[in-house]
Amino acid sequence: MYRAGSFTTAARELGRYKLDLEGVQEVRWGKGGAVRAGDYNYFYGKVLEQGFFLHHRIVSAVKRVEFVSDSLSYIILIGPWCNIIVLNLRAPSEEKSDDSKESFMTN
């Protein structure tokens, strides 16, 4: 979502596919916070390149959003019987070194 217009395009596509929650990677936004785009609220972390799009229907169910590291974040939603935890985890791509993939698998 680095290019102009990509943020609203992403929100529009989520609506087209009727998705209520989406974790995204490689955002390149700083400071952290929440922004509204159409029917979606976007939560993003400080300096980290991850975030969550949530449809406005379920924003009231958000209990907590945590950005743990540059490759791990999670959101906790209050469900009818129990809390729901959704992880957003970025694994190294195939082009990365074997050491970085091994480190990911063992940590």
Q: Tens-of-pLDDT digits for all 107 residues of the chain?
A: 555 577 788 888 999 999 999 988 877 776 778 888 889 998 888 766 788 999 999 999 999 999 888 788 899 999 999 999 999 988 777 776 777 667 766 66
How high is the pLDDT of residue 95? 75
Residue 73: CB atoms within 10 A of its CB come to 25
How high is the pLDDT of residue 31? 74
* Helices of type H across the chain: 6-16, 98-106
How high is the pLDDT of residue 38? 86
Residues 6 or more apart whose CB falls under 8 angstroms from that of 12 comprise 38
The residue type found at 46 is: K
Query: Which pTM was predicted?
Result: 0.78
How high is the pLDDT of residue 101? 63
Please state, in angstroms and as integers, the Cα–Cα distance from residue 43 to each residue in 35, 48, 59, 97, following that order: 7, 12, 10, 31
Spatial contact of 21 and 51, defined as CB atoms under 8 Å apart: no
**Tell me, what DSSP letter sits at residue 59?**
G
Residues 6 or more apart whose CB falls under 8 angstroms from that of 36 comprise 42, 56
